[in-house]
């Protein structure tokens, strides 16, 4: 099992970051405009992109502290993996520790997703700090895989 | 052992990307302005940043294909780890498969370095495609850890 790890700091409150991770409007503001579904525990959130998308089951939401999803539909490599956001305060920043955990193998698609997650986490930071993220389809392109 | 993985695509030739990875001018154009040393096999390249830096021993350079370094000085967590850039052509892009391998533990600093590597690889992409990267000290800041 191998994991993708990232860490960003947002100059806003943990509550504001948490809102961007647990509401359809928030998620559509930094990851992909085409987001809908149920953000409550046990609900499924649908994220769609031009080439496909992901369905996430919400496993845990702890206000201003943690969000945990399990991938229940999407690319084969993603199904069964988990996506975790842990929040804490440090030096006036809300630190987001991100983990996309449980990849079976470090396939080339995992290399791509690791870089792309960094791009989207910077979009989350921009959304919460400035009100404007860069969600798909207006996301920063990194390669032939978009 | 855990690894940081990334993948970017550069709309330039493998030779141009290789030059940015194997010359002091190239490296200083996307990672840190404060770069010097010997880029030949067995040489040591010094990369310095405001809070410290890294010394890399060049283990392998295969033109337009691969660059491999071993960290011989720097933060304790980095010493002995290896940094690998593998290049290939695909769909008109030069694909860079990046691996910072051999971390002993997934410490919080590794989360930070993973995101920061993505930022610097986008700087590499920008340098080769446009002639202008964002090397330290003008790099994109991601948190209280810069």
What is the nearest CA distance from A97 to chain B, expressed in angstroms?
Answer: 7
Over residues A8-56, the pLDDT tens digits come to: 999 999 999 999 999 999 999 999 999 999 999 999 999 999 879 999 9
The confidence score (pLDDT) of residue A145 equals 95
**Residue B125: partners with Cβ closer than 8 Å, 6 or more residues away:** A142, B8, B9, B10
Chain B positions touching A7 (Cβ under 8 A) are 108, 111-112, 114-115, 142-143, 145
Are A145 and B9 a contacting pair at CB < 8 A? yes
Taking the complete model, does pTM exceed 0.95, yes or no? yes
Q: Name the pairing type of β-strands A34-37 and A52-62.
A: unpaired
The complex's ipTM works out to 0.96
Q: What's the half-sphere exposure (Cβ side, CA atoms, 13 Å) at B25?
A: 5
Domain range summary for chain B, segments of one domain joined by +: 2-130
Q: Looking at the predicted structure, is the pLDDT value of residue A108 above 80? A: yes
**Do residue A6 and residue B121 have CB atoms under 8 angstroms apart?**
no
Q: What is the pLDDT of residue B119?
A: 98
- Give me the residue label for tokens 């069964």: A80
Annotation: CATH topology of A2-130: Alpha-D-Glucose-1,6-Bisphosphate; Chain A, domain 4 (3.30.530)
**A85 neighbors A21 (Cβ within 8 angstroms):** yes
The whole-number pLDDT of residue B121 equals: 98
Surface-to-core class of residue A100, CB atoms within 10 Å of its CB (0-12 exposed, 13-18 middle, 19+ buried)? buried
A117: phi then psi, degrees, rounded to nearest 5: -60, -40
How many Å lie between the alpha carbon of A63 and the closest alpha carbon of chain B? 21
B47 CB-near residues (< 8 Å, 6+ apart): B27, B31, B32, B34, B35, B53, B54, B55, B56
Q: With pLDDT > 90 as the criterion, what percentage of chain A qualifies?
A: 97
Query: Given an 8 Å threshold on Cβ–Cβ distance, is A97 in contact with B115?
Result: no
- Give the per-residue pLDDT at B51: 79
Is B86 strand, coil or helix? strand
Task: Kindly tell me the burial class for residue A59, based on how many C-beta atoms sit within 10 Å of its own C-beta (0-12, 13-18, 19 or more).
Answer: middle
Low-confidence residues of chain B: pLDDT under 50: none
Residues on chain B touching A125 (C-beta within 8 angstroms): 142
The strand pairing partners of B83, in sequence order, are B69, B100
CB nearest B7 (choices: A2, A97, A111): A111
For chain A, give the mean pLDDT: 97
Structure tokens at B130: 């446009």
pLDDT at B102: 95
Q: Is the pLDDT of residue A119 over 90?
A: yes
């Amino acid at each position: 099992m191998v994991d993708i790890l990232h860490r960003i700091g947002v100059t806003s409150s943990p509550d504001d970051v948490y809102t961007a991770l647990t509401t359809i409007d928030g998620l559509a503001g930094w990851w992909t405009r085409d987001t809908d579904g149920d953000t409550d525990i046990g609900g499924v959130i649908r994220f769609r992109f031009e080439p496909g998308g992901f369905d996430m089951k919400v496993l845990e939401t702890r206000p201003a502290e943690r969000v945990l999803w399990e991938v229940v539909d999407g690319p084969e490599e993603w199904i069964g993996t988990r996506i975790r956001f842990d929040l804490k305060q440090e030096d006036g920043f809300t630190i987001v520790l991100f983990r996309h955990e449980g990849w079976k193998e470090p396939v080339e698609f995992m290399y791509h997703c690791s870089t792309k997650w960094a791009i989207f986490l910077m979009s989350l930071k921009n959304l919460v700090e400035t009100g404007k993220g860069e969600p798909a389809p207006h996301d920063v392109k990194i390669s032939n895989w978009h």
